Amino acid sequence: FGSDGAFSRVRQAMEKTDRFNYEQYYIPHGYKELSIPPTEDGDFAIAPNALHIWPRGQYMLIALPNLDKSFTCTLFFPFEGQPSFESLQTPQQVLQFFKNTFPDSLPHLKNIQEEYFQNPTSSLVTVKCEPWVKNNCVLIGDAAHAIVPFYGQGMNAGFEDCYELNLLLDKHSDDWKKSLEDYQQLRKKDGDAIADLALHNFVEMRDLVADEKFLVQKKIEAKLHELFPKKWMPLYSMVTFSDLRYSEAYEIGKKQQAIMDEVMQRPNILENWEGIDLEEIVLRLQD
């Protein structure tokens, strides 16, 4: 079993075999971790029960709470261009950039200049390959399907590989040949789906969450789920909080988005969204 990560040595050996397909894609953004320490009285500096996002179109800053009441912040930022990791070369440039771009975060980033230059800048890669099973070698987890982190599903996708393979071994009475054939057929489609979903969610997080029309659409979808929980579940909830396969959630999400694209084109939808016929929208999904 090759469970040795995105740069798997096992996969590298398999790449040299006949008819092995391999693809990797680096996005033009990297990331750097920063921190928000607890307040002087030992409490959280900002609201702890939330994912904090500062969306800025082509880049973003996020913050997630830790058990010690600090926050880990991550700057997702282009490697080159203006602005970028390449363009911020001095402590003063970093400070000025955060003053201009993330002004409400700056008072909490107590060590911004030191951390910016001390902490590494890392890249983000997506890996797709096929087959995952060849002779006595099997790929699992990131070795088979490394993804960018924007759905928070990378580790979970690896655990799902283990879970599904275990179910298949039970189903086929520990027949490894049959179980592994089904494992590859089942999970390859899901690995590709979550890879694509994660890339799309980056655009959503850094850009769309600042768009009024997008936020109204999310309100409509939340209301649909509240009134018709078994008929309409938002894509994020399907991926994160249900047992649906990633590939199934992805396909349902595409249908939902096509319907919502039409709904959001209706006249005065931003002002009158609360008055639309929600049942009609749900019925369209069932067609």
- The pLDDT score that the predictor gives to residue 242 is 94
Q: What is the pTM of this model?
A: 0.92
- The pLDDT score that the predictor gives to residue 81 is 97
Q: Which helix (H) or strand (E) holds 31?
A: strand 21-36
pLDDT digits (tens, 9 = 90+) for 168-179: 999 999 999 999
- The pLDDT score that the predictor gives to residue 192 is 98
Give the count of beta carbons closer than 10 Å to the beta carbon of residue 177: 9
CA distances from 258 to 219, 227, 252, 276 (A): 16, 20, 10, 17
C-alpha span between 140 and 10 (Å, rounded): 10
Q: Which long-range contacts (CB under 8 A, 24 or more apart) does 83-87 make?
A: 83/59, 85/30, 85/32, 85/121
pLDDT digits (tens, 9 = 90+) for 6-48: 999 999 999 999 999 999 999 999 999 999 999 999 999 999 9
